[in-house]
Chain A
């Protein structure tokens, strides 16, 4: 489904992503964690052809992302960056409708409208459908963009810090939704998270990055450990199992 082979990005002399390799084949939720500047966004952007790749290659469904037509990729992989919507006085419904662009090229069919309604319902945006994006709170707007990506209906979905701007209630419901997308709709979801506990609570697999390199990659039990987290973040932590849920606490 997604295959990144030794992806590298240079800014000047520094490798901000350094030979990162990642393969995702089955539906599920993969969390990428790591300190600010570790290269998480850059890695995601290269896989999603938003940034040119300096070295290495990336494939989606076996298609090289640098050589495949944008419209073909847009039906297979979707990505949501951290900041979105510059000129965004669109209604929530219109925005989600643009998620259907790769399929409809602007002519929405009944099937497209059904997908839009589905995405609206999935993110509990029904009551806000007619509101303009610039009249929403940051969290509501974030949910509208996620709904757009969902309406795009690709098997692979990349989300860069989708919990930004969300309070804990909406953060949890966003992650439950990500979980449902994987479990019920069979999506392959990669999500960048800065809260380790959200990763350990909701992900099947955790990828830890530091200084552009992938330094750990495996199931939650293997990556969310005191040794790994301390090495990745350079910070002493306690990892405890609380009611069957692995939690990471910082030390004072």
Chain B
């Protein structure tokens, strides 16, 4: 099947999921009701204030987290990293705690920018560490990332405990769409813009994935490309943390599945990674909404279980960390 047809098919799948997303949930709203013209003002409000924002949030977060994972993997030439396993998301959470302590009344956008700064700093520490330790290959790279993420997480916990912000930190560090309402998720659109930016610079990121030497040989400003990539990844992590909280494994599982099937050429795979990420997260959210209805299981939990299973299967099938 040609890429174009596959892409159309993927978008169609997303559209179906999107419609499903509008009709699953605690409030009463059914397809028959809409088709029969029986929409009252109350239903419309539910649709526009809650269901559409929530479904859009899941799509946007999924797409951008998956693309962030792919970029992270290209920039560190290692397949087993993503923002939430190298300290990026944790640093964004720390940033949220710090800015909330210092300026509790600041608007979310400003807090998100501060969180991005922290995320960028955390990611740079990770990159510096793996360069200093001359780590290129294997599972040591994600291991170093996990340790760093743990340390940053601990710092965030300590500060949050002191400042009585543990509950907020919980919201930032575990993904959940149940609080999404109109006016509370729009930052996530920035993620889509960043995905488009990643697509524009796709060739450069693909080359970066081939390593510094190959990049420099071809005249690429390698350090600048890495810097651009890290900024994109950090911003994506920060907007997700600030709006819905971290969702684990999306950035790990989706790029691995897609690149196994379609290769590492960024220009080709970025659209598919975005679509698959959006579909996976929305699918998990739908599952979380329907499994114990009328109660909800947060998407972070569902994704944690599903993602870990897929990831273990990938490792068991012997996908090398690089190459």
Residues 53-82 of B at the A interface (beta carbon under 8 Å):
73-74, 77-79
Within 8 Å CB of A79, what residues of B? 213, 217
Whether, in the assembled complex, B32 has its beta carbon less than 8 Å from a beta carbon of chain A, the answer is no
In the complex, how many residue pairs between chain A and chain B have their CB atoms under 8 Å apart?
A: 92
Whether, in the assembled complex, B310 has its beta carbon less than 8 Å from a beta carbon of chain A, the answer is no
Within 8 Å CB of A87, what residues of B? 73-74, 77-79, 209-210, 264, 322-323
Whether, in the assembled complex, B216 has its beta carbon less than 8 Å from a beta carbon of chain A, the answer is yes
Within 8 Å CB of A48, what residues of B? 216-217
Q: How far is the CA of A64 from the CA of B320 in the complex (A)?
A: 40
- Scoring A48, A49, A80, A89 by chain B CB atoms within 10 A of each residue's CB, the highest score goes to A89
Within 8 Å CB of A99, what residues of B? 218
Within 8 Å CB of B219, what residues of A? 69-75, 101-102
Within 8 Å CB of A49, what residues of B? 216
Let me know if B220 and A101 touch, CB within 8 A: yes
Whether, in the assembled complex, B290 has its beta carbon less than 8 Å from a beta carbon of chain A, the answer is no
Whether, in the assembled complex, A211 has its beta carbon less than 8 Å from a beta carbon of chain B, the answer is no
Whether, in the assembled complex, B211 has its beta carbon less than 8 Å from a beta carbon of chain A, the answer is yes
Whether, in the assembled complex, A86 has its beta carbon less than 8 Å from a beta carbon of chain B, the answer is yes
Q: Interface size class for chain B?
A: 20 to 34
Q: How far is the CA of A91 from the CA of B264 in the complex (A)?
A: 9
The count of residues in chain A whose C-beta lies closer than 8 Å to any C-beta of chain B is: 33
Residues 171-208 of B at the A interface (beta carbon under 8 Å):
203-204, 206-207
Chain A, 60-88, contact with B by CB distance < 8 Å: what is the 0/1 string? 00000000011111110011110011111
Within 8 Å CB of B260, what residues of A? 89
Let me know if B218 and A94 touch, CB within 8 A: no
Smallest beta-carbon distance A150→chain B, Å: 13
Residues 207-236 of B at the A interface (beta carbon under 8 Å):
207, 209-214, 216-221
Let me know if A84 and B211 touch, CB within 8 A: yes
- Scoring B137, B216, B259, B267 by chain A CB atoms within 10 A of each residue's CB, the highest score goes to B216
Let me know if A86 and B265 touch, CB within 8 A: no
